[in-house]
């Protein structure tokens, strides 16, 4: 059994990064390069998040997004 910290690092954090990346690009008009620089990653990594190659293992629902408000 994997410890919770490993599960969060492997699945939850990438899903949150993917959500933030998609919102920056789709709702705020950022380019992949600008969004990548804002989040401190490469444009290549941003491309993988947009294609859901990374961060697509779990889905962040609207209800989960409201938890931080």
In the chain, what are the domain boundaries? 4-58
- pLDDT string in tens for the chain (69-residue length): 888 888 888 888 888 888 888 889 989 999 999 999 998 999 998 888 887 766 566 666 666 555 554
User: What integer pLDDT is reported at residue 64 of this predicted model?
Assistant: 59
* Helical segments of 1-69, H only: 4-7, 13-26, 32-39, 43-50, 62-65
User: What integer pLDDT is reported at residue 40 of this predicted model?
Assistant: 92
Angle at 63 between CA 22 and CA 5, to 5 degrees: 75
Neighbour tally for 36: CB within 10 Å:
21
Tokens of 1: 């059994």
Residue 60's SS3 state is coil
User: What integer pLDDT is reported at residue 8 of this predicted model?
Assistant: 82
């Amino acid at each position: 059994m994997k410890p919770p910290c490993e599960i969060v690092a492997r699945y939850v954090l990438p899903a949150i990064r993917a959500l933030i990346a998609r919102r920056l690009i789709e709702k705020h008009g950022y380019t992949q390069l600008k969004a990548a620089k804002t989040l401190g990653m490469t444009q290549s990594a941003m491309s993988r998040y947009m294609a859901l190659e990374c961060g697509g293992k779990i889905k962040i629902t609207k209800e989960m997004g409201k938890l931080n408000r």
